[in-house]
Amino acid sequence: MSDEKFGLLVYEEGERFFNIGDYIQSLAAKQFLPKVDFYVNRERLSEHKDKKTKIILNGWFTHKPETWIPSKALDPLFVSLHINSSASQRMLSTEGVAYLKAHEPIGCRDHYTVRLLESKGIKAYFTGCLTLTLDSYAKNNKSNDGKVYIVDPLYGFPNKDRIFTNTKSIIKGLITTDIFKTNSANKFMHKIFSQSLLDNAEYIEQELPANKYTEDQKFELAADLLKKYSTAKLVITSRIHCALPCLALGTPVIYLNGFESEFDACRMEGLSELFHTVNVNRKTGKILANFDTQGLIDENINLVNKLEYLKLADSLKVIVQNFLNRE
């Protein structure tokens, strides 16, 4: 065991931002590892040339499907895997299918990925997300600091930051008319939540500036966010890697689901029902909650998280431990 090497996923940044939620996913893997010998970039798994390295491959795959397949030097556990619809055709080439078959059964984060792999003859099963096991970051007592955190609410709706990035995005915004709808998320928020909640909440963004932090610093930022969420009175978010950890942390959470495209929606099958969810349809204006809201939601709501996630979390812990104990 002492000679074994262990890798941990890190991620390539975008041109302007990176998503700290990716690092929260990696913290979920890291908590099980006896040590971390290598950071292994998700988009460059094929380039790992060091000694045989055990690695947990969980999360969203991939922005660069052309770099798939992972190196033979990696000994992977596929758990909580999501293969996005945007990458599935290239990832599941003849070679890609053969690779996954060599490591089956494949644990999948969502039902969409289970069906996708089974359609290629790959044995697959639903695990949910590894961030459901982040109870190791939970506060020791049940008191909270009284804070309400609102984290990237309805971030998929039109917003100025994305539309006014460059000339191409502005032209696209004009063609789709999204450029005239940059206040739509705010309007929906006022239809769901009280003014006092919106005024007194602390707002957090999980997209942070690129080219500013080292990998170690990113993990520190992710851990700091988990500590914040663990002490909150309530968290409201459209980020699954905020909502899912909150279940594990025992923090009341409301998930705002405003995703309509397959690119976004395919990753939610089997996850969104784990939380109290408010579904928002931007096109029709319809708002539908899967729990009793009785008018505008305010900071005094008495919300208790669903407990269905516990079975998934317990199973995930066993799967990971069995992998790490395997010779």
Q: Is the peptide bond before 105 cis (omega within 30 degrees of 0)?
A: yes
With CA atoms as reference, report the closest residue to 155 among 188, 118, 106.
Answer: 188
With cut-offs at 50, 70 and 90, classify the pLDDT of residue 30: very high
* pLDDT of 115 above 70: yes
Better pLDDT: 174 or 27: 27
- If we measure between CA atoms, which residue out of 78, 7, 15, 81 comes closest to residue 44? 7
What pLDDT, on the 0 to 100 scale, is given for residue 306? Answer: 95
Give 236-286 pLDDT, tens digit per residue.
Answer: 999 999 999 999 999 999 999 986 655 466 777 889 889 999 999 888 889
Nearest in space to 269 (alpha carbons), one of 114, 90, 65, 153: 114
Q: What is the pLDDT of residue 268?
A: 78
Q: What is the pLDDT of residue 327?
A: 74
Phi–psi pair at 306, nearest 5 degrees: -65, 155
For the chain, give the mean pLDDT. 89
| Mean pLDDT in residue range 49-62 | 92
Reading the block at residue 242, the tokens are 């905020």
Structural Rg of the chain based on CA atoms: 20
Helix (H) or strand (E) holding 223: helix 215-230
Instruction: Name the token pair of 155.
Output: 């971030």
- For 149, 202, 242, the CA distances from 233, given in Å and listed in that order, are 8, 11, 14
**CA dihedral angle for residue 259, residue 260, residue 266, residue 270, rounded to 10 degrees:** 60
Residues 63 and 67: their CA atoms lie apart, in Å, by: 9
pLDDT of residue 167: 57
Separation of alpha carbons 297 and 308, rounded Å:
23
Other C-beta atoms closer than 10 Å to the C-beta of 271 total 24
Token output for 163 = 């539309």
Cis bond upstream, residue 94 (ω within 30): no
Choose between 127 and 140: higher pLDDT: 127
Phi, psi (degrees; rounded to nearest 5) at 159? -145, 155
Q: Are 120 and 105 in contact (CB under 8 A)?
A: no
CA–CA separation, 100 and 68 (whole Å): 11
Which of 67 and 212 is assigned the larger pLDDT? 212
- The identity of residue 191, as a single letter, is K
Distance separating alpha carbons of residues 22 and 8, to the nearest angstrom: 12
CB 28 within 8 A of CB 51: no
Q: What is the pLDDT of residue 229?
A: 96
Contact present, 158 and 179 (Cβ < 8 Å):
yes
Q: What is the pLDDT of residue 2?
A: 60
Say what percent of the chain tops pLDDT 70: 89
Residue 25 banded pLDDT, cuts 50, 70, 90: very high
| C-alpha triplet 294, 239, 221: angle, nearest 5° | 125
What's the mean pLDDT in 116-125? Answer: 97
Instruction: Give the mean pLDDT of 112-122.
Output: 96
Please report the pLDDT score of residue 267 as a whole number.
73
Q: Could you please report the per-residue DSSP string of 161-207?
A: HHHTSSHHHHHHHHHHTGGG-TTHHHHHHHHHB-HHHHHHSEEE-SE
Question: What is the maximal distance between C-alpha atoms in the chain?
Answer: 59
Count of Cβ atoms closer than 10 Å to residue 251 Cβ? 25
Interval 140-192: pLDDT, tens: 777 788 899 999 999 876 665 654 455 555 455 445 555 445 557 889 999 99
- Is residue 285 classed as helix, strand or coil in its secondary structure? coil
pLDDT value of position 162: 56
pLDDT at 101 > cutoff 90: yes
Predicted pLDDT of residue 173: 47
Question: What is the pLDDT, as a whole number, of residue 128?
Answer: 96
Mean pLDDT lowest among 2-11, 201-210, 238-247? 2-11
Residue closest to 88 by CA, chosen among 111, 67, 113, 109: 113
- pLDDT at position 264 is 60
314 pLDDT more than 70: yes
Distance (Å, whole) CA 159 – CA 6:
40
pLDDT attached to residue 174: 47
